[in-house]
Amino acid sequence: EAGVAQSPRYKIIEKRQSVAFWCNPISGHATLYWYQQILGQGPKLLIQFQNNGVVDDSQLPKDRFSAERLKGVDSTLKIQPAKLEDSAVYLCASSLQIADYNEQFFGPGTRLTVL
């Protein structure tokens, strides 16, 4: 079974530039999550989708971050414009459904450096 795919793996940009990350979840997984992991911290949920609908985006900085999952499969996360503090690893995860005990499967992440 293929895991969660993410691209690119690494990205270096200047502040005020734009950047986009792509995630393809495990086939059949209805729930998709984007996390931000700043160095030395645990992952923090940015946005959660159930199929193509947003379940939780309470911690997404909506003035600069956006995400979509148009066909309920793969997803993109965009930052425009980027700030220095956006330097982090962006992790995508998926699970079969929303449930307390459903395991979330994580992709390898995209490491973003903003200069």
Partner 1 sequence: AQSVTQLGSHVSVSEGALVLLRCNYSSSVPPYLFWYVQYPNQGLQLLLKYTSAATLVKGINGFEAEFKKSETSFHLTKPSAHMSDAAEYFCAVIHSSNTGKLIFGQGTTLQVKP
- Under the rule (CB under 8 A), what is the footprint of partner 1? 4, 31, 40-45, 48, 55-56, 91, 93, 95, 98-104, 106-109
Alpha-carbon separation of residue 73 from 5, 40, 52, 77, 92 (angstroms)? 12, 31, 8, 13, 12
Least CB distance to partner 1 at residue 16 (A): 28
Q: With left for phi above 0 and alpha for psi between -120 and 50, is residue 57 left, alpha or beta?
A: alpha
Least Å distance, CB 3 to partner 1, is 8
Question: Nearest distance from residue 68's CB to partner 1, in Å?
Answer: 19
**Residue nearer to partner 1 on the CB measure, 46 or 79:** 46
Tell me whether residue 59 or residue 80 sits nearer to partner 1 (CB atom): 59
In angstroms, the CA 32 to CA 52 distance is 9
